[in-house]
Amino acid sequence: MTHVPPGLDDILASATASAMPVVEDTASTKLRHHFQAVANMNRVFAIRPGEKVVLLTDPRLDRRVVDAVSGIAASRGARVREFMAPTTQLTDCPPEAKALVEDADFVMGTWYASVNAPLFVKLRREKGQRWVKITYFRNLDLLDTPQGRFPPELVGEITRANAALFPRGKSFDMTFSDPRGSDVTIHFTPEMVSNMLDNNRWRGSTIAEEPGCYVHYLPAHGPNIYDREAFKRVPGAVADMEGILYPQWAVGFPKPFAEKIGIEWKNTEVVKVHGKSRDADILREMIMGAKLTELGCGHNPKAPRFTAYPAGSNSAGALHWGVNYTKPSNYLRRMIPHWEEPHLHQDLATFDTTVKLDNVTLIDNGFLMALQSPNVVDMASRYGDPVELLESFVE
């Protein structure tokens, strides 16, 4: 009888066919990873002996997170008080929380208002109050993820390498393109660059130890490559910006956009939404007249690549275009009523954008060029294989 050689169908039908290692980690590996993440958390929450710590929380936060931070504070002889608001969607500090926050040295917050409420900004600038925002740490189990154990100091080095690519002392154009045909330009002045980059986040501060700092934990949400800090948050000041963006996804939409929906901009305002699909109609009703308030860039290569919720992907090189509008979106109120952001906000996600600063490439088809900086590669080599750490994305 003629022997029949095995073919592709035979390989695919085999129950034991494999060319890849087992995905499931052993118990000892999981334990090692867990304590690596715990050590990271302890460094980020740089609470000092005798400090007054305030936790601004909400009912949907995993209470184990509160207990974990309270335990860190207790180990250092710090006093903890908590103010629970009914929602994270606050856009300002409630009057009844004002005295408590003013008395704090260190604040952990879940509220949307954490970043730009006038009182909170003033306390960081004038009192040196230190803040940790935990939009991306609402469940203690996130410690047991690749992004949870990624070194926060390495995120800081990636951020500094990214900042070094921005031209200083001259005007330039930040341009955006992608395979769908997006074509957007933001015109930068030297003053805009200085206002944005001369702060602790762009200096790569991922540990809450610098006076006046505002850091994210988990350390994934890098500083925005454009936001209102470019104008020191002066009301009404906006960038010279024009063009059309074809986003791939947006928060509150169950699936990425099947249609090529175009968002047309003029001076950071959405002036037209192109498209005929139901998704385009929803976006048109939602964001017409909205203003771009932040252009967020992920800086952690181990953050999930295609996760748009709750506020855009934090994977290195992925972008979220954050816009604010004046009328709450009923669509978002129906689809994601308990969203961590207010329903006056939307994050449009792109995962494959090329961003240039004149002739300098900041992001190449969704790959953050700072990941190849010699300083970044050198630091990554202290923690493991730099290629695996920096270029093996979690999809």
Find the helix or strand (DSSP H, E) in which 360 lies. strand 360-364
Task: Give the pLDDT score at 344.
Answer: 95
* Distance (Å, whole) CA 114 – CA 135: 10
Mean pLDDT lowest among 106-110, 145-149, 310-314: 310-314
Average pLDDT over residues 364-375: 97
Average pLDDT over residues 102-130: 96
Task: Give the pLDDT score at 4.
Answer: 85
- CATH dotted code for 27-144: 3.40.50.2300
With CA atoms as reference, report the closest residue to 284 among 351, 350, 329, 343: 329
Residue spans of the domains in the chain: they are 27-144, 150-204+217-391
Going by pLDDT thresholds of 50, 70 and 90, the confidence category of residue 169 is very high
For residue 222, pLDDT beyond 80: no
| Cβ contact 150:136 at 8 Å | no
DSSP secondary structure, 11-68, as one string = HHH-SS--SS--SSPPHHHHHHHHHHHHHHHHHHS---TT-EEEEEE-TTS-HHHHHH
- DSSP annotation of 95: G
Chain centroid to CA 268: how far? 20
**DSSP-based three-state secondary structure for 241:** strand
* Distance (Å, whole) CA 212 – CA 196: 15
Task: Encode pLDDT of 54-63 as tens digits.
Answer: 999 999 999 9
SS3 letters for 287-336?
HCCCEEEEEEEECECCCCCCCCCCCCCCEECCEEEEEECCCCCHHHHHHC
Q: pLDDT over 70 for what percent of the chain?
A: 100
Task: Give the pLDDT score at 49.
Answer: 98
Strand ranges of the sheet holding 106-109, from the earlier edge strand across to the other edge: 79-84, 52-57, 106-109, 130-133, 214-216
Task: Give the pLDDT score at 1.
Answer: 66
> What's this model's pTM, rounded to 2 decimal places?
0.93
Q: Count the Cβ atoms, other than its own, within 10 Å of residue 131.
A: 22
Task: Encode pLDDT of 13-61 as tens digits.
Answer: 999 898 988 888 899 999 999 999 999 999 999 999 999 999 999 999 9
| Cβ contact 232:195 at 8 Å | yes
| Cβ contact 318:301 at 8 Å | no
Residue 212, CA distances (Å) to 41, 196, 205, 389 in order: 19, 15, 11, 30
**Stronger pLDDT, 184 or 4, i.e. the higher one:** 184
Going by pLDDT thresholds of 50, 70 and 90, the confidence category of residue 199 is confident
* Distance (Å, whole) CA 341 – CA 89: 5
Instruction: State the Rg of the chain over Cα.
Output: 22
Average pLDDT over residues 242-253: 97
**Stronger pLDDT, 182 or 1, i.e. the higher one:** 182
Task: Give the pLDDT score at 24.
Answer: 83
**What proportions of the chain, in percent to the nearest 5, are helix, strand and coil?**
30, 25, 45
Going by pLDDT thresholds of 50, 70 and 90, the confidence category of residue 358 is very high
